[in-house]
Chain A
């Protein structure tokens, strides 16, 4: 009895390594200059799914919503051990906030079909909102457990997990299917398998197949696609039309939150008193703080 998992992954800008080039003079972010990376907690989520698969079998499908270049992290999922990868991509999805994103993801998951688990990282480093997981679970009308630290036990119908709570932890048991969001400390993701890397490095999405040819012939692209499917090298690509989505709920139109104003961070004047890094400097500083009853 295998268990099927869907793992939601995200390609994120490496916000921890923002260089001067990335920030424009007007304080806006030049996203094209940002290196894109696999959100770490999502990789941990995939590892948890793989560990269940190691024990019980079943199929793992990695999905992401993003621009065409997000296929990079889907290939990484295949290298790690995911059985299938799905790119959900359409220009009309651009500018989506968490609500619009969860709508598209939940519709894609409905199309993918049967699952026992949905896994995701707790949050993505570009927004740190931790919202898409629970919002997707609500739309699918399934339970969720957030902040998962460890999977303790699975039965044919249930899972028992340890999760973090404020000031401690709790052990929860949920009936399947359930969506789990995972903390980075839950486990260490396995490295790519060399054999899988060789096998899947040429896996391609529909957009990538289209860019292979100058010809705009649908027939030719269809043939390429058939070839890739036959060789198990096609990354399923779902667009707005494939999912028959309500356009008013996608992308910027489907996003209730809007960015009204963006300000670059301006530092306050810096009116501090400079203390020399010396014994005397410290003695004077300590004396001043103690005289003002701030210390001691």
Chain B
């Protein structure tokens, strides 16, 4: 590859009815580090209606330029106009890296852009780094390492996109840390005109229903999480009871979500939310890598599991080998006694 390659890092800034998604700011913070490594510029892409304030907000996270496509027609995310706009922008500017939140919108949009521009795209990365790489005896400078668990969590894969100009990745909410700068960058807003196209309204929104942030696991100081090992929906009520007693939020592993013990918005892990609470209590969770990826940076971790070999003990600060059904009530009693 030539030396005149673009070194810009782009973050698609997602907004829902005019409200920016937190994951976009998290990605800007990570993107800034990647841009520094590449000696390139961090840029945000904001599409919507009346979104200049959101564009300005991205300067607080280090964006030097915001590409803004602002039009009343673009108020809500729609696959066709958004992907068409981004396809054209990426095709024209050929950024080195494009990052998307692994949200419903990001997962709808990113693959279309990757498909159109024939770029590599890696889903649900748990880490992103810049590094020189030797691949098949060839040297590559400053590639994006896209790191993610794979194959049921039995392996961690590092994916690269060696021979492509554009490297794309999606990242779940909470995985990267949001780090506003003490002094915002003096960024520039570049307005990109929106030219409607006949295909833009091929899909139309008839109705939309959204509840505002019912669950905010990321902000919870205490999380009590249950896994498949809790056995039944009924047993899982103990998790709720413990959480209510000690003032925590309820969460679950993917297996617990799949089993219907706990709703998907409370899933912690690679394909759920990443959390860093003061205290994380894992009950009946074996601790597959995907789950650990979402909670291992918690300040203190208590693991309760019948299997002393369960991987969850590998990241725990306190380990209790035993049946959560017996231990949780003991814990609740001990807490109530102490408060008395």
Q: Which stretch (B58-66, B89-97, B103-111, B182-190) binds chain A? A: B103-111
Instruction: Give the secondary structure class of A's interface.
Output: mixed
- Asked whether, in the complex, the Cβ of A135 is within 8 Å of the Cβ of B153, the reply is no
Query: What separation, in Å, do the CA atoms of A85 and B143 have in the docked complex?
Result: 41
A273–B279 touching, CB < 8 Å: no
Residues of B within 8 A of A127 (CB): 123, 150
Q: CB-defined interface of B321-339 with A at 8 Å, one 1/0 digit per residue?
A: 1110011001101110111
A262–B123 touching, CB < 8 Å: no
- Give the distance in Å from the alpha carbon of A140 to the alpha carbon of B196 in the complex: 20
Query: B104 and A147: CB pair below 8 A?
Result: yes
1/0 per position for B111-149, CB-CB distance to A under 8 A?
110111011111110000000010100000000011001
Map CB proximity to A onto B219-250 as digits: 1 under 8 Å, 0 otherwise: 00010000000000000000000000010000
Nearest to B327 among chain A residues (CB) is: A277
**Given A260-B133, A262-B156, A98 and B319 contact (CB-CB distance below 8 Å):** no
- Also in contact, A257 and B159, with CB within 8 A (given A172-B205, A289-B300): yes
Partner of B156, one of A97, A167, A263, A286: A263
- Whether B108 lies near A275 (C-beta < 8 A) is no
User: Interface residues of B: mostly helix, strand, loop or mixed?
Assistant: mixed
List, in ascending order, chain B residues with CB within 8 A of A238's CB.
none
Which residues of A are found within 8 Å of B339, using beta-carbon distances? 296
Q: Residues of B within 8 Å of A, CB-based: how many? A: 91
- Residues in A with CB closer than 8 Å to B85 are none
- The reply on A171 being an interface residue by CB < 8 A is yes
Q: Is the CB of B135 within 8 A of A145?
A: no
**A residues near B154, Cβ cutoff 8 Å:** 18, 22-23, 27, 29, 264-265
A283 contacts the other chain (Cβ, under 8 Å)? yes
Tell me, in angstroms, the Cα distance from A1 to B317 when the chains sit together: 64
9-residue interface stretch from A66-74, A76-84, A158-166, A189-197: A158-166
Instruction: Judge whether B155 and A264 touch: CB under 8 Å.
Output: yes
Our pick among B119, B311, B317 for the contact of A267 (Cβ within 8 Å) is B311
Residue of B nearest to A106 (CB): B115
For residue B45, give the distance in angstroms from its CB to the closest CB of chain A: 18
Interface residues of A (CB under 8 A from B): 13, 15-16, 18, 22-23, 27-29, 97-99, 102, 126-139, 143-147, 160, 164-175, 178, 255-265, 267-270, 272-279, 281-283, 285-287, 289-290, 294-296
Q: CB within 8 Å of A: which residues of B?
A: 16, 21, 79-80, 83, 103-105, 107-112, 114-116, 118-124, 133, 135, 145-146, 149-164, 199, 202-214, 222, 246, 265, 271, 278-279, 289, 299-300, 302-303, 311, 313-323, 326-327, 330-331, 333-335, 337-339
